[in-house]
Amino acid sequence: MKITITKTEQEFNITAAWRIIAQMLAKPNSVIGLSTGQTTIDMHRIVSEIHASYPFDVSGITLFNVDELTNLPREYAGSCYTMILNQIAGPLGIPEENFIMPPTMSDDFEAESLLFEQRLAERGGADLQMLGIGSNGHIGINQPGTPFESETWVSPMDPDFEARVRRETQVPPETILGGLTRGVKNIMHTRKLILIAKGAHKAEIIEKAILGPVTTDIPASVVQLHPNCEILLDAEAGARIASYSKLRGFNF
């Protein structure tokens, strides 16, 4: 497990962007998983800006997101489809057939979960997953307690996140919200993982996930077992890791 701690947030954003671009350049038919949220907005923008200034062929690149909200309109600004489309897939001109996302509305999400994985498998599986981490240690929408052998499924949302989504969308209380997410097992089968975090509010959970025991109580801790994983942090998110390294005489 490689740990990279950047000096600034801007350096983090640039480094993360170049990790994505490097994968695209190294393998022009790469299948790349992304994540949404405040951590990834700027890195996606930088990827798009670099591609606009120095165009390279992305016609064979496949993009997908690790998860998607369910029972909400796809047009909702907070849907993963809309965010990834606006932030990176659209600006890069990724062909529609190469932007693989499950629907937000369906009568059979179990079938949609299987189809999502089938479409990725038909392209050779995921080469790279940029993987965010929630404040409670979730990855994708696999909340604490999710078995490590879980496969792509519809998970409940984090209660705080769900409350925010309901405020923004005004969906009625009887509508069950959740998220179709790649399971922990599917995520771990990705050829390369890059766990990303920035900001002081992520420092504690990063310490627990990376330096603590591997446990379903903190789903992100499972990445310790991945054979090709990088932990990419800004200085604030990596503060506790850096302090630990100094105490032990390690250099990351």
DSSP letters along the chain, please?
Answer: -EEEE-SSHHHHHHHHHHHHHHHHHH-TT-EEEE--STTTHHHHHHHHHHHHHS----TT-EEEESEEEESS-TTSTTSHHHHHIIIIIHHHT--GGGEE---S--S-HHHHHHHHHHHHHHTTS-SEEEE---TTS-BTTB-TT--TT--SEEEPPPHHHHHHHHHHH---TTSPPEEEE--HHHHHTSSEEEEEE-SGGGHHHHHHHHHS--BTTBGGGGGGG-SSEEEEE-TTTTHHHHHHHHHHT---
Model pLDDT, residue 251: 52
| pTM summary value | 0.95
Model pLDDT for residues 155-171, shown as the tens digit of each residue: 999 888 899 999 999 99
How wide is the angle at C-alpha 143 spanned by C-alphas 80 and 226, nearest 5°?
A: 90
Q: Position of tokens 């999502």? A: 116
Q: How many domains would you assign to the chain?
A: 1
**CA-CA distance, 36 to 13, in Å (whole number)?**
14
Q: Strands across the sheet with 178-181, in order?
A: 67-70, 178-181, 153-155
Q: What does the pLDDT read at residue 244?
A: 74
Query: According to the model, what pLDDT value does residue 243 have?
Result: 80
* Ranges of residues in the chain whose predicted pLDDT is under 50: none
Task: Tally Cβ neighbours within 10 Å of residue 117.
Answer: 19
pLDDT in tens, 104-144: 999 999 999 999 999 999 999 999 999 999 999 999 999 99
Query: How many C-beta neighbours within 10 Å does residue 55 have?
Result: 10
CATH of the domain at 105: 3.40.50.1360
The pLDDT score that the predictor gives to residue 212 is 97
Per the structure, the complete domain to which residue 185 belongs is given by 2-248
pLDDT of residue 235: 97
